[in-house]
C-alpha cells in the first residue's frame, strides 16, 4: 500500500509541475515537506525489514500511518495546486463555460495558461489540467478520438481569444480535409480580418508568410533590444504586434521546403508571437511543443507523469459564435486609444529636457510599437492639424501638450492657447473655482472666442511684439537663432513659445480689417518665428479653414508638420489619401509637408478627460517655480467684474500727496493728465481695462451710444466708481440724472454707492442741473472741485431741455458744459440711445461733435459712426454683438478698441 501511495506522490508532483508551469513559493514548500516525508518513509521501510517477526504488526501499523500522512499531503498539495491554477489561468483562461466571458489581460501583462480539463487523484479534489499557448509555444493534438481532438482545438482557441484584447489574436486556418469546417464556429471573426483561411495546396505559402513575419519582428520590432515580444511588453507596457495562431488541421505529406519552414516556425515563432495548433501533421520534438494525446477514455499531456486528463465539455456553439461576433464588432469599431501615461517620461525624468535646439515629444505608438515623435524647431517650425468633428482633434492637442509639458519645464516652454469653437475644455489649464491648480507652462487660455476675433488678433500682435523683442536681443548679441541667443545670454529667460489656435479659420473669416491684419501677422510669424523659438500650431475641423490658407502659399509652406486625423481633407499633399482609411484614435503624422513618403501612422492616447489630466497637472503644479503665476484666462462668455480688474485695484486717490494713478505714476489734484474712467475690459492678451483720461482739456467728455440699457448702465457705473476711487471723500462732486425708468435700478445703486456729495436728478429737475452747472462755469474764475455729470438716457429729456432756463435753453446749457466744462474739471459722461439723437441734442445733423472726445458704441452699426465721430470714410469695421462695445478716444486711438463692459457691481 505504501508503494502505491509513493507512486501517486511522485506522479502528482510531476503532474503539478506540468499543470502550473512554474514553481511557486507555496508549492515549493509543500514539495519540500513531501520529500522529507518520502525520505522518512524509505528509512522506516528499511528499518522494518530488520525487525524480528514479532514486531511485524507494529511495522505494518507504522507504514500505514506514514501512508495516511502521504495521502493527506497529496490532498493538501492538490488543493494548493487548484488554487494556484486559478491564478495561473484566471478568467477566460480557466473559467467553466457556464460562467465564461472574455477577460482580456492588462496591457503588458503576459497571458495565462489555458484549461482543457482536469486531473483526478485518489482522496483529493480534481486539479485543473492547463497547457500553455500564447507567448509560450505550440500545441500538437493527436489521438483516435476525433471529437475529443476537435473539442481541444475549439477550447484552446476560444480561451485564447478571451484572454486577449479584441484584435490582439489573429487566426489562420488550414483545413484541407474539411475546407474550414473545423473552424466554422469562428467564422464571424473573418468579417474583421481576424480569421483567414488557406485553401488546399496553400500550406507552403502560409509557412513562408509566417517565417517572413518572424523575420520582420526580429529585425524591426525586437531589433536586438529584447529577446521576445513578451519581454518587450513587460518592459514597455505595450505589445506592438498581435498574436498569430495558425491552426493546421491535417493535410498531405509535407515537402522538404514545407518541413524546413515548419521547423523554423517551431523554433523561433513563440518569441515573435507566432504559434501553431496542429492536428494531423507531425511536429519535431522541441521544448516549445506541448503534446496532447486524445484517445477514447484517456487523454494525456506530454510531461504529465502519465496521469490521465478528463477533458472538459467543448464550448457551446452559441458561445463561440457570439464571442466571435462581439470581438469582430469591437475591432470593426476601431481600436481603443492607448493610455495617456504612454506619452509621459518616468517620474525622475520630468522637466529634464532642454529646448534650446527644439521641442520633441511622442504623440503615440507607431505600427511597430515604437513611439512616433513630433518635433518643433528650426525644421519643422510649425504644425497644421486637421480632422472632422469627432475624430479627436482636441484630444490630440491635449496629448501633445501633456507630452511636452512633462518633459520641458516652464523655463524651457510656454503655451498660449486659443479656442475659437464654443466650449471650455481648455479652461482646465488655468486656475478655476473647482480646481485651484493650473499648468505652470500656460500663459494664456482663450475660450469661447468664436465671436471675438479681436482676441485672436491681440494674441498675434503680442507674439509679433515678442518676436521683435527676441530679434532685438539677438542683434545685440550678434546671433541669429534662439539656440545661439541662449548660449550667449544664459541669464536671460528665453523659453520656446507654442501658440495653439483651434478652429483658426474663424480668425481669417470675412473681408474686414481683422482678417487682413491677422493674415499678415500669421505670415510674418510663420516666416520669422522659427528662428526665435515661436511656433504656431493651427487646427481646424472644417476644410474651409485649410482653404483659407491656400491663397497664401508662402504661409502654407512654413507649416511643414502636418497631422491628419481620420477622414481629414486637404491637410496632406494632394495625392496623399492616407487619412481616409485611418481607424479611430489614429493620425497620420507627416513632417514633409504632407508628401506620401513622410507618412507615419500613430495611435493617439486618450488624454482629454478630466481624470486623465488632473493627476499630471497637479503633479506639475506642485513642481512649479516659486514665482509662477496662473495663466490669463479669457472666457468670451464670461462678463468681467470691475472689482476683479487689476487696473481698478491699482487706482489710488489723486487729491493728496502720494496719490497714484492706474499706471503707478504719482498724481496730484492739479495734474494735467487727470483721473481715468475705467469703462470695460479690453479684448487683449493682458487683462487690461479700457480707460478714458479726463484731464483739463477740451473734449474730455464721454458718450455711450446704443439702446441696450444694461450695457449702457454698466459703462457709466464702472466709469463713476473708478473715478470716485481716485478722489478723497468729499473731494469730487457727482451728479446723476436718470431719465429712463428702465435704468433707474442701476442708477440708484450707483447713487447709493458713491460718496455723500452726490446729487440725484430726474426728468423734471435735470434742466436745473444744466443751468446751475453752466452758470457755475461762467462765473468760476479758477478750476474748482471736480464735477462729473452722469446722464442716463439724456435724449429722453429733449423736450424739457428745449425749454429756456435763464438766458439759454437746457440743451444750450448742455452744449455749453460739453464745450467749456472739461477745462474747468467738469466732465459729462452721458448715454444717448442713438447717434442721431445725440446729434440732435448737439445741434442737428451738421453739428460738430468734437466736444465729445470719446465714445462707446454698443448696438450701433459701424456705418452710423461717420467721419465726424471716426476718422476715415464709411465708419469702422464694427458689428454689434451682446455685451461688447467699440471704444474710441480721439486723443489716443487711430482705430476703435473692442471692450467688454464690466458687469453689475452689486
| 525-534, 660-669, 722-731, 756-765: range with lowest mean pLDDT | 660-669
Q: Are 246 and 274 in contact (CB under 8 A)?
A: yes
Between 664 and 869, name the one with better pLDDT.
869
Q: pLDDT tier at 311 (50, 70, 90 boundaries)?
A: confident
Instruction: Tell me: pLDDT of 547 over 70.
Output: no
The share of the chain scoring above pLDDT 90, in percent, equals 49
Q: Please list the residues that pair with 691 across neighbouring strands.
A: 678
Residue 438 backbone phi and psi in degrees, to 5: -150, 160
Instruction: Look at residue 155 in the predicted model and tell me its pLDDT.
Output: 93
CA angle, 425 then 430 then 432, to 5°: 90
The pLDDT of residue 30: 47
Phi, psi of 886 (to 5 degrees): -105, 115
Residues 100 and 319: beta-carbon distance below 8 Å: yes
Determine what percent of the chain is predicted with pLDDT higher than 70. 86
**pLDDT score of 80:** 67
Q: pLDDT at position 581, please?
A: 86
289: Cα separation from own chain's centroid: 46
In this prediction, residues 235-262 reach a mean pLDDT of 89
Mean local confidence (pLDDT), 278-307: 82
| Per-residue DSSP letter, 221 | I
Question: Nearest to residue 704, comparing CAs of 663, 657, 646, 747?
Answer: 747
Least confident of 67-71, 198-202, 778-782: 67-71
What confidence score (pLDDT) does residue 31 get?
45
The pTM assigned to this predicted structure is: 0.75
Tell me how far apart the alpha carbons of residues 368 and 602 are, in angstroms, rounded to a whole number. 10
pLDDT band of 2, cuts 50, 70, 90: very low
Beta-strand pair 702-705/758-761: unpaired
Report which of residues 450 and 643 the model is more confident about.
643
Instruction: Give the pLDDT confidence score for residue 341 in this predicted structure.
Output: 87
Close Cβ partners of 559 (under 8 Å, ≥ 6 residues apart): 380, 382, 383, 384, 526, 536, 538, 549, 593
**Which neighbouring-strand residues pair with 735?**
759, 789
Please give the pLDDT value at position 304: 57
For the stretch 358-417, pLDDT in tens is 999 999 988 777 889 999 999 999 999 999 888 889 999 999 999 999 999 999 999 999
Surface-to-core class of residue 224, CB atoms within 10 Å of its CB (0-12 exposed, 13-18 middle, 19+ buried): exposed
Rounded to a whole number, what is the distance in angstroms from the first to the last CA of the chain? Answer: 98
In this prediction, residue 678 has a pLDDT band, given cuts at 50, 70 and 90, of very high
Cell 478716444 belongs to which residue? 889
How is residue 60 written as a grid cell? 505494518
Cα separation, 202 vs 373, whole angstroms = 40
For the segment 299-322, the average pLDDT, to the nearest whole number, is 82
pLDDT beyond 80 at 546: no
Residues 6 or more apart in contact with residue 230 via CB below 8 angstroms? 110, 135, 271
Residue (of 313, 221, 238) closest to 274 by Cα position: 221
State the burial class of residue 255 (Cβ atoms within 10 Å of its Cβ: 0-12, 13-18, 19+). Answer: exposed
| Residue 26 DSSP symbol | H
Higher pLDDT, 180 or 599: 599
Residue 694 in 3-state DSSP? Answer: coil
pLDDT at 702 over 80: yes
Residue 752: name the closest of 701, 796, 717, 793 by CA: 717
- What is residue 668's predicted lDDT score, i.e. its pLDDT? 36
Determine which helix (DSSP H) or strand (DSSP E) holds 856, and give its type and residue range.
Answer: strand 854-857
Averaged pLDDT for residues 560-586: 89
Q: Could you read off the pLDDT of 712-728 as tens digits, one per residue?
A: 999 999 999 999 999 98
DSSP 697-709: STT--EEEESS-H
Amino acid at each position: 500500500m505504501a508503494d502505491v501511495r509513493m507512486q501517486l506522490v511522485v506522479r502528482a508532483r510531476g503532474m503539478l509541475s506540468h499543470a502550473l508551469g512554474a514553481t511557486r513559493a507555496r508549492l515549493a514548500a509543500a514539495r519540500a515537506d513531501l520529500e522529507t516525508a518520502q525520505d522518512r518513509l524509505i528509512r522506516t521501510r528499511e528499518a522494518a525489514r530488520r525487525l524480528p517477526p514479532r514486531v511485524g504488526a507494529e511495522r505494518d501499523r507504522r507504514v500505514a500511518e506514514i501512508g495516511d500522512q502521504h495521502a493527506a499531503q497529496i490532498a493538501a498539495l492538490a488543493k494548493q495546486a487548484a488554487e494556484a491554477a486559478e491564478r495561473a489561468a484566471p478568467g477566460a483562461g480557466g473559467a467553466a463555460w457556464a460562467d465564461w466571458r472574455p477577460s482580456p489581460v492588462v496591457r503588458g501583462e503576459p497571458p495565462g495558461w489555458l484549461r482543457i480539463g482536469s486531473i483526478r487523484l485518489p482522496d483529493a479534489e480534481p486539479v485543473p489540467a492547463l497547457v500553455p499557448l500564447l507567448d509560450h509555444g505550440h500545441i500538437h493534438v493527436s489521438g483516435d478520438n476525433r471529437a475529443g481532438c476537435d473539442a481541444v482545438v475549439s477550447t484552446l482557441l476560444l480561451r485564447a481569444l478571451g484572454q486577449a484584447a479584441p484584435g490582439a489574436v489573429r487566426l489562420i486556418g488550414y483545413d484541407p480535409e474539411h475546407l474550414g469546417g473545423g473552424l466554422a464556429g469562428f467564422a464571424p471573426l473573418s468579417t474583421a480580418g481576424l480569421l483567414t483561411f488557406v485553401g488546399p495546396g496553400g500550406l507552403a505559402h502560409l509557412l513562408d508568410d509566417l517565417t517572413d513575419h518572424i523575420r520582420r519582428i526580429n529585425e524591426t520590432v525586437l531589433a536586438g533590444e529584447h529577446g521576445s515580444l513578451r519581454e518587450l511588453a513587460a518592459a514597455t507596457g505595450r505589445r506592438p504586434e498581435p498574436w498569430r495562431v495558425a491552426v493546421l488541421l491535417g493535410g498531405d505529406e509535407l515537402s522538404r521546403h514545407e518541413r524546413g519552414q515548419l521547423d523554423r516556425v517551431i523554433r523561433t515563432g513563440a518569441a515573435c508571437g507566432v504559434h501553431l495548433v496542429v492536428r494531423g501533421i507531425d511536429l519535431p520534438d522541441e521544448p516549445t511543443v506541448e503534446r496532447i494525446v486524445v484517445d477514447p477514455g484517456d487523454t494525456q499531456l506530454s510531461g504529465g507523469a502519465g496521469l490521465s486528463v478528463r477533458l472538459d465539455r467543448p464550448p457551446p456553439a452559441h458561445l463561440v459564435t457570439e464571442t466571435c461576433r462581439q470581438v469582430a464588432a469591437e475591432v470593426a469599431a476601431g481600436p481603443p486609444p492607448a493610455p495617456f501615461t504612454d506619452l509621459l517620461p518616468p517620474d525622475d525624468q520630468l522637466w529634464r529636457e532642454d529646448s534650446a535646439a527644439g521641442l520633441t515629444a511622442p504623440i503615440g505608438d507607431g505600427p511597430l510599437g515604437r513611439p512616433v515623435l513630433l518635433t518643433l524647431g528650426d525644421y519643422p517650425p510649425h504644425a497644421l492639424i486637421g480632422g472632422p468633428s469627432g475624430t479627436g482633434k482636441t484630444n490630440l492637442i491635449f496629448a501633445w501638450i501633456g507630452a511636452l509639458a512633462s518633459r520641458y519645464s516652464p523655463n524651457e516652454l510656454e503655451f498660449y492657447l486659443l479656442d475659437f469653437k464654443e466650449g471650455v475644455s481648455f479652461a482646465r489649464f488655468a486656475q478655476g473655482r473647482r480646481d485651484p491648480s493650473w499648468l505652470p507652462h500656460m500663459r494664456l487660455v482663450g475660450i469661447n472666442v468664436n465671436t471675438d476675433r479681436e482676441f485672436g488678433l491681440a494674441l498675434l500682435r503680442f507674439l509679433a511684439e515678442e518676436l521683435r523683442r527676441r530679434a532685438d536681443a539677438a542683434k545685440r548679441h550678434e546671433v541669429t537663432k534662439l539656440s545661439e541667443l541662449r548660449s550667449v545670454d544664459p541669464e536671460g529667460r528665453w523659453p520656446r513659445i507654442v501658440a495653439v489656435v483651434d478652429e483658426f479659420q474663424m480668425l481669417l473669416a470675412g473681408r474686414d480689417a481683422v482678417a487682413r491684419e491677422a493674415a499678415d501677422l500669421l505670415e510674418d510669424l510663420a516666416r520669422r518665428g522659427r528662428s526665435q523659438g515661436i511656433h504656431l500650431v493651427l487646427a481646424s475641423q472644417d476644410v474651409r479653414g485649410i482653404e483659407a490658407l491656400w491663397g497664401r502659399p508662402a504661409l502654407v509652406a512654413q507649416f511643414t508638420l502636418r497631422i491628419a486625423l481620420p477622414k481629414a481633407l486637404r491637410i496632406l499633399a494632394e495625392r496623399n489619401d492616407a487619412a481616409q482609411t485611418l481607424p479611430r484614435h489614429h493620425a497620420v503624422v507627416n513632417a514633409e509637408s504632407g508628401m506620401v513618403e513622410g507618412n507615419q501612422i500613430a495611435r493617439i492616447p486618450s488624454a482629454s478627460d478630466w481624470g486623465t489630466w488632473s493627476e499630471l497637472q497637479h503633479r506639475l503644479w506642485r513642481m512649479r517655480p516659486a514665482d509662477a503665476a496662473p495663466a490669463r484666462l479669457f472666457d468670451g462668455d464670461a462678463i468681467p467684474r470691475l472689482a476683479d480688474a487689476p487696473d481698478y485695484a491699482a487706482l489710488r486717490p489723486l487729491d493728496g500727496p502720494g496719490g497714484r494713478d492706474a499706471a503707478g505714476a504719482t498724481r496730484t489734484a492739479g495734474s494735467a493728465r487727470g483721473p481715468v474712467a475705467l469703462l470695460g475690459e479690453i479684448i487683449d492678451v493682458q487683462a487690461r481695462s479700457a480707460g478714458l483720461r479726463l484731464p483739463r482739456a477740451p473734449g474730455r467728455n464721454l458718450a455711450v451710444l446704443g439702446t441696450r440699457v444694461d450695457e449702457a448702465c454698466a459703462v457709466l457705473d464702472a466709469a463713476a466708481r473708478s473715478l470716485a476711487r481716485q478722489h478723497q471723500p468729499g473731494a469730487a462732486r457727482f451728479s446723476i440724472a436718470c431719465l429712463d425708468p428702465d435704468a433707474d435700478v442701476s442708477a440708484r445703486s450707483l447713487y447709493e454707492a458713491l460718496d455723500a456729495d452726490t446729487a440725484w436728478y430726474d426728468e423734471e429737475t435735470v434742466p436745473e442741473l444744466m443751468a446751475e452747472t453752466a452758470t457755475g462755469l461762467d462765473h468760476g474764475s479758477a478750476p474748482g472741485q471736480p464735477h462729473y455729470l452722469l446722464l442716463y438716457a439724456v435724449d429722453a429729456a429733449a423736450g424739457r431741455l428745449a425749454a429756456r432756463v435763464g438766458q439759454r435753453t437746457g440743451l444750450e446749457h448742455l452744449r455749453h458744459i460739453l464745450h467749456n466744462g472739461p477745462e474747468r474739471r467738469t466732465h459729462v459722461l452721458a448715454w444717448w440711445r442713438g447717434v442721431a439723437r445725440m446729434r440732435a441734442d448737439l445741434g442737428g445733423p451738421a453739428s460738430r461733435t468734437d466736444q465729445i472726445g470719446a465714445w462707446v458704441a454698443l448696438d450701433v452699426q459701424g456705418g452710423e459712426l461717420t467721419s465726424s465721430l471716426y476718422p476715415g470714410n464709411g465708419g469702422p469695421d464694427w458689428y454689434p454683438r451682446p455685451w461688447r462695445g467699440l471704444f474710441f478716444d480721439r486723443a489716443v486711438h487711430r482705430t476703435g478698441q473692442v471692450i467688454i463692459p464690466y458687469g453689475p457691481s452689486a
